[in-house]
Amino acid sequence: MELKKIGDVKFVEGGVCAAKGFKANGIQCGLVHAGASLTVKKNDLAMIVADDECSAAAVYTTNKVKGAPIIVTKKHLENGKARAVIVNSVNANTCNADGVKKAEMMCSLTAEALGIDENDVIVASTGVIGQPLPIEPIANGIPALVEGLTYDGNPRAVEAIMTTDTMPKEIAVEFTLGGKTCTMGGMLKGSGMIHPNMATTLTFITTDAAVSPELLQRALSDVVKVTLNRVSVDGDTSTNDMVCVMASGAAGNKELTAENKDFDVFVNALYNLMLNLARMMARDGEGATKLIECRVSGAVSEKSAEIIAKSVITSSLLKSMIFGEDANAGRIYCAIGYADVDFDINKADIAVASVAGKVILGENGCVVPFSEEEAKKVLEAEEIQILVSLGEGTGSAVCWGCDLTYDYVKINGDYRS
C-alpha cells in the first residue's frame, strides 16, 4: 500500500524503535480465549520502554463502557509523564469485576522488572470482552519480555498487539526541529470494531523530539480528529480504544513549549504518521478487499464535509457496492442525502476514481449516463475514491473505510472460539 506524504518528512524503518532511546519486545506468553486451546503461536504480550522518563499524552474511546486498562492509564498519565507500555492481545480485560486490579498488577509487575515507578507505566489490552484476564501467563512472561528488549524489537511488539489484523501496521518518519534531526515511530492494531469516535484503535507512538506534555496532548488531540477519527470499518466503537504518545527528548532539540513554526513541523510529522496508520487500518478492515477514500469538497465548512464523508464510508449498501464492483450511483447519493447536515443536493456531483481512471456518475443531484464497463474497471482497483463536490463553499474533508464482504460475518460469527 502506497504511503501518503504531506510536507517535509522522510519515511524510515523501525516503527516504535526508530526514535532514539526506545526498546521494544513481544513474546507468546500463553493467553487464550476461554474454552480454546493454544494452537497459534503468535506473540500476545508486548512492551515498549524508554531509556528515560518521557512527556506523554493519550486519547481514549468515547464508549461509555471502558476497558480497565484505560481507567488505570488515565490515572497514570495525569502528570503527563510515562516511561513504559505493557500491552496484551487475546483478552480485552473489560467488563470484569477484577479488571482494574489486573491492569494495576500488569503495571506493578512491569515496574518491578524494569526498576521504575508503576505510575510511569501505560497499560493496554485488546481482544475478547467479558472474560477474566488470567494474570499468571503475563506475570510468568514479563521476565523474558524484559530480557529480550532491544532497540530493534518493533516487529515482535507489533505482532503481539494484532488480533484479527492480517498485517502488521507500523511506520516511522524523520523531520527537523531547530536544526536537530528528530524521529517519530508508531504501531497500530485495528481491523474490526472500528468507527470514527475518538481513537478507534490501539496505537502507540514514540518520538525523540522534546515536547512539553501540554503541547504533546494538544497535538495528539488535534491530529486524531483528522486521521483515526475519520476511519470506519463496521460502525462499532470499541471499549478499549487508545492512542498514546511518548516523547523522550533524546534528539536534543529545544523543548517545544509554545505553538510556533517548530510546533507546526512536529504536528505535520504526527499527521503523516497517523494518516498512514489510519489508511492501513481501513485497508485491513475485517474481511476487506478494498480501501475506500471519500473526498468531499465544496461544502460550507470542513465539519459539514466530514459529516457527509463519514456518511458515505459507513453506508453498508455502499460498502457492499464497492465489494461487488457495481457502480450504483443511487447508493452514493442516498448516503450523502441522509447525512445530518444541511446542503443543496441539487448542486451535488459524484464520481468514482482509482488508478484505472475516473468516471462521473452524477451531476446536480441526478445520475448521468456513464459507461458501466469503464466504471467497473475503476472499481476493480484495490483503492477506490468516492468524489463528492457540493458547490457551496470551500469546506473539504477526507474519510476512509473499506468494503463489506462475506468474510466479515465469518470472522465475527465465531470470534470467541
The helix/strand/coil state of 160 is helix
Could you tell me which of 292, 351, 283 has the C-alpha nearest to residue 320?
292
> Phi and psi dihedrals of 362, rounded to 5?
-155, 150
Residue partners of 67: CB distance under 8 A and separation at least 6: 92, 93, 94, 99, 125, 129, 239, 240
Q: Who contacts 69 (Cβ-Cβ below 8 Å, separation ≥6)?
A: 93, 103, 106, 123, 124, 125, 240, 242
The residues annotated with a catalytic role in the active site are 200
Query: Hey, is 378 helix, strand or coil?
Result: helix
Q: Which amino acid is at 30?
A: G
- Name, in order, each residue with C-beta under 8 angstroms of 253's C-beta and a sequence gap of 6 or more: 177, 178, 179, 180, 182, 209, 210, 262
- The answer to whether 22 and 52 are in contact (CB under 8 A) is no
The set of cell numbers assigned to 163 is: 488480533
How far apart CA 414 and CA 394 sit, in angstroms, is: 46
